[in-house]
A and B are shown apart, each in its own frame.
Chain A
Amino acid sequence: MKYIFIILSILLLAVAPFFGQIEITLSKINDLASIDYKLFWDLRLPRVVVAFFTGALLGLSGLIFQSLFRNPMSTPFTLGVASGATLGTAFAIVFGLVSYIAFFGFAGALLTIVILFGITSRLKAFETSTLLLVGIALSFFYSAALMILFYISDETQSYEIVRFTMGSLDVVGFNSTTPIIVVALLLLILALNYKKDLKLLLTSYENAFLKGVEVKRVNTVLLISVSIAIGVAVSITGPIGFVGLIVPHILKAIYKVSADKLLVPTFFYSGIFLVLCDLISRNLGTNSDVPIGVVTSFLGGPFFIYLLVGRKRA
């Protein structure tokens, strides 16, 4: 069963660049003079690559947050980290700091983590329900702030912000894909490095402490790394919700293993999931691409509920 999924996924990766509004002929992609060549190498393939690594990064971030914050609902999105990054990015757009967009996205994400950390250190332990509520409150606050930015921005800027908040995987050329690939791979390597500590944290914080894990340090390193990664991802693609929430859950329901063993599968299948969603968004036959966030939520939402209900019954 697992192997069938892997083969199907690789097949999907292979065919994904060929579908879109304009058809590409396989025989022409190496013909330098053809439009197919440009379309394939400058647009389609980079787009699939960005979709894969963005999805992978979002999924892995979600899994790490769910493990550390002890709550199946906590992802960089539900806790407001992604909204922080969005606000930072919008800020950069409105104040003409577009060349520092990644930095502002990262700053917004990091600021949110600092606030969340400040609050958790006041609580006795990681009281996740409180944290989740704080995350929601922060998200509301950020959307209000985003409204103010809309209000003071001119028409082009508002349009840019709107398009940005819908999430988009439009990229041109391979150079623009580098940051997301690097960040996603670094996050995966880091997570794998902390695999054993992570597993001990999955038993209980006290047990991890007694077994010699520096709980605070591991938490800080992982959460800050995730925030940096999310900041970078959001500044490139805009906020794409739901991947980080559902893919880890779906895999947990299928694999039935502890979260530390899901690091690589989550990375891989979150990537595949976003490639699939993007493929759908590009091929719905509408005049322009349906925003990717719409597709992830439309596909993921019902499936997620189906899984939850199904598991309760079993």
Chain B
Amino acid sequence: MIQLTNFTNTILTDIDFYIEDGENLIILGSNGAGKSTLAKVLCGITNSDSLTIFNKKSMELSAKERAEFINYIPPKLEMFDEYISLREYLELSKLYSTLSIEDVLELLDLKALEHKPCISLSSGEQQLTMLASSILHNAKLTIFDEPTANLDPKKTLKVSKILLSDKIQNRIIITHDLNLAYKLGYKILYMENGKIEFFDNNRKFFEDSNLKKFFGSSLKRLDNYFVVNL
């Protein structure tokens, strides 16, 4: 589905991996490890000739094909114009989904906010707006960069359920939330200092020896829940 061969830039070193068709992925790693940088390479914002998406060289994709194949949801909503409303933003995002804007507004409880300018939404509301836009875009592969940051527990649960649902085709999820990573059960790619330190199945990552190796004493396991050892 997506393959990156020997990619190196100022932040990333020798990144080499591929995901098979229909497979989902979770990317974990400390702050500044290069997760978002990697995401930007994968979605084409950072140009690279070592990327292959759905058996096509990324550089040879037309703009339309790229939009059909891959989408990236950044951690924060970027918005230059001060008057574009939530609804207008979603209208711009509707590309390949069969769902209507109404459906998605309902699904995420955003109906009451639809005419508010995007820049006046709270960070949590912006996060939901971007999730809504990713559903409407409905690319074959969507990369979510920390989709549950800024959310209260109720919304985190809601978003997690949507991330797991078939409203998203294939996904790569970048997160710091180990519980989410564990529950989703997808393959895990762990990064540190711009390098891949772990790339294997979910249960293997959550073996005690690996947790100790990557998180030291900062993390505590309680019944398959992972908490910061305060």
Contacts and interface: CB of A to CB of B under 8 A. Distances in A.
- A complexed with B: yes
B63 A258 contact: no
A206 B81 contact: no
B19 interface: no
Interface stretch (B64-72, B157-165, B181-189, B204-212): B64-72
A203 B92 CA distance: 9
Interface stretch (A8-16, A23-31, A113-121, A211-219): A211-219
Contacts of A214: 63
Q: In this complex, which of A203, A206, A214 has the most chain B Cβ atoms within 10 angstroms of its Cβ?
A: A203
A100 interface: no
Nearest to A198: B81
A212 B84 contact: no
A246 B81 CA distance: 17
A67 B80 CA distance: 9
B43 A256 contact: no
Given A212-B64, A212-B66, A258 B81 contact: yes
A199 interface: yes
B99 interface: no
Nearest to A215: B63
Contacts of A204: 78-80
Contact of B67 (A211, A252, A258, A259): A211
Q: In this complex, which of B67, B84, B89, B93 has the most chain A Cβ atoms within 10 angstroms of its Cβ?
A: B84
Interface residues of B, number: 25
Q: In this complex, which of A70, A206, A214, A256 has the most chain B Cβ atoms within 10 angstroms of its Cβ?
A: A206
B81 A203 contact: yes
A206 B89 CA distance: 14
A202 B137 CA distance: 18
B80 A203 contact: yes
Interface in B46-77: 63-64, 66-68, 70-72, 74
Contacts of B137: 210-211
B72 A210 contact: yes
Q: In this complex, which of B44, B72, B74, B92 has the most chain A Cβ atoms within 10 angstroms of its Cβ?
A: B92
B81 A210 contact: no
Interface residues of A, number: 21
B44 A209 contact: yes
B-side interface mostly = mixed
Contact of A258 (B66, B74, B83): B83
A203 B83 contact: no
Interface string B183-200: 000000000000000000
Interface in A40-93: 67, 70
Nearest to A262: B83
A101 B22 CA distance: 62
B224 to A, nearest CB: 36
A207 B43 CA distance: 11
B228 interface: no
A204 B71 CA distance: 14
Interface string B82-95: 01100011001101
Nearest to B83: A258
Nearest to A203: B79
A211 B92 contact: yes
Interface in B131-152: 137
A178 B27 CA distance: 60
Interface of A: 67, 70, 196, 199-200, 202-204, 206-207, 209-214, 252, 256-259
27 contacts: A196-B92, A199-B81, A199-B84, A200-B92, A202-B81, A203-B81, A203-B84, A203-B89, A203-B92, A204-B80, A206-B45, A207-B78, A209-B44, A210-B43, A210-B66, A210-B70, A210-B71, A211-B92, A212-B64, A212-B67, A212-B68, A212-B95, A256-B83, A257-B83, A258-B83, A258-B88, A259-B81
Q: Which 7 pairs between the two chains have the least Cβ-Cβ distance?
A: A212-B67, A204-B78, A202-B81, A258-B81, A258-B83, A258-B84, A212-B63
